[in-house]
Every structure is written in C-alpha cells, then in structure tokens.
C-alpha cells in the first residue's frame, strides 16, 4: 500500500466512524502503542506522540460528536454543507456512474469520499476494472453509432418520401409507417452482409412479374 492509500484509509476511517466503532480498535491500538508513526507518511511525530498520550476513548467520542454529529455540529463533514449548490445525490450519482459502490450513509461525507478515493487508487490499476471501463466505453460508442445511423436513415427516408409522395402507390398511413420502419429495413443489411462474407453464395434467378402486372393495368 502506497503512502497516499495509507492516508486515505486512516483518515477516511477516522472521519467516517465513531471512535468507539469496533472496526477502529486495531487502529487505535497502533496509536496507543506508538506504532503508527513507523508507517505514517507525513512528518507529524510530535502530533502522533500527543495523540498517543491523550487517546482516551470517551474524550475522543465526545469531541467527535461535538465536531461532526448532528445539525448543531461545529464542522459539518458533508460536501453539500461547504459547496454551494451541491447535493448528496449528485455525489452518489457520480460515484455510481464510475463503478464505485456507495453505502447507506451519506455519499458526500468527507470520510466516505476519502474511502472512495482509496478504492479508486487500488482498483483503477486492476485488469478487471480496466476491462470494464474499456467495454463500457465501447458500448457507448456502439450505441451512439447505431443511433446516428438510424437517425440518418430516417432523415433520408423522410426526405425521399416527401419528394416522391405522389409517385409512391399506397395509402397515406402506409407511407408514414414505411418512413419510420425504413431504418430497420436498412439495418437488416448488416447481418446480411456479414452472412455474405462468410457464407457460400449461390446464384438463384428471381422471377419478376411487376412489369407484366403493370402492362395488364394499362391495357385494362
């Protein structure tokens, strides 16, 4: 674990959890025994020594509640309390969008944000996360591409239908319907083209009878 990760883990846990939380017992044990200074990345030996001497749980809990707990606390530990116009939902949505899990507590709590940064640092370098991000990006690109092609085909079909409205035989409702289904019809060429590349193609003559029907109509 690098120095930045140590800072995020220790400070995030201390800000997010009450001092009497059982999960903090190992950390406070290191502080009482003076062993945290050996791995603490900042030059704060004097402060750590003072903390070691005054590491009394009841006093720490009282100070923690006065500083961070309740509406009348001295220092609200929430981003929304310090950044004008921000909200907890905004932070939660951002973390969820980037694949960072959020608990039931406020997502914009200073402690939870430090722990989220820790998760980012430890997970961003993992192959599984990189693969996830790449696949997600490719999925977005594919969706945008399909959306753009569909809109372009619809616009092309609509312009053609308007220009050739009188020449196209059929009721008006069918013309409108075919304008909207035209992109779907054209997209069927994608699997057809793939099948033509890998499949065995055989020539089969197609009997066309449209000209004969048209001649019969004109003679009638």
Q: In this predicted model, what pLDDT tens digit does every residue of 41-80 receive, in sequence order?
A: 777 778 778 777 777 788 888 888 888 888 888 888 888 8
Burial of 10 (0-12, 13-18, 19+ CB in 10 A): buried
Say what the pLDDT of residue 155 is. Answer: 92
Whose tokens are 């070691």? That residue is 52
Asked whether 101 and 94 are in contact (CB, 8 A), the reply is no
| pLDDT higher than 60, residue 157 | yes
Q: pTM, whole model, 2 decimals?
A: 0.47
Residue 130 in this model has a pLDDT that exceeds 70: no
The radius of gyration of the chain from alpha carbons, rounded to an integer in Å, stands at 33
Structure tokens at 38: 């050996």
Q: Which residues pair with 109 in a beta bridge?
A: 78
The two structure tokens encoding residue 28: 């406070």
State percent of the chain over pLDDT 70.
Answer: 86
């Amino acid at each position: 674990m690098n120095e930045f990760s140590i800072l995020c883990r220790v400070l995030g846990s201390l800000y997010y959890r009450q001092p009497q939380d059982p999960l903090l017992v190992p950390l406070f044990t290191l502080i009482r025994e003076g062993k945290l200074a050996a791995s603490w990345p900042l030059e704060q030996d004097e402060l750590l020594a003072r903390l070691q001497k005054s590491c009394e749980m009841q006093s720490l809990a009282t100070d923690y509640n006065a500083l961070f707990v309740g509406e009348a606390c001295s220092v609200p530990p929430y981003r929304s309390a310090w950044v004008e116009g921000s909200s907890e939902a905004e932070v939660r949505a951002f973390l969820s969008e980037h694949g960072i899990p959020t608990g039931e507590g406020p997502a914009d709590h200073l402690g939870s944000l430090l722990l989220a940064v820790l998760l980012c640092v430890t997970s961003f370098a993992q192959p599984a996360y990189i693969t996830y991000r790449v696949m997600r990006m490719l999925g977005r690109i594919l969706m945008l591409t399909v959306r753009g092609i569909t809109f372009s085909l619809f616009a092309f079909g609509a312009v053609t239908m308007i220009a050739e409205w009188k020449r196209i035989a059929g009721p008006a409702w069918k013309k409108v319907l075919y304008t909207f289904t035209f992109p779907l019809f054209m997209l069927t060429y994608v699997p057809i083209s793939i099948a033509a590349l890998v499949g065995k193609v055989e020539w089969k003559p197609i009997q066309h009878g449209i000209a004969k029907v048209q001649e019969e109509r004109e003679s009638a």
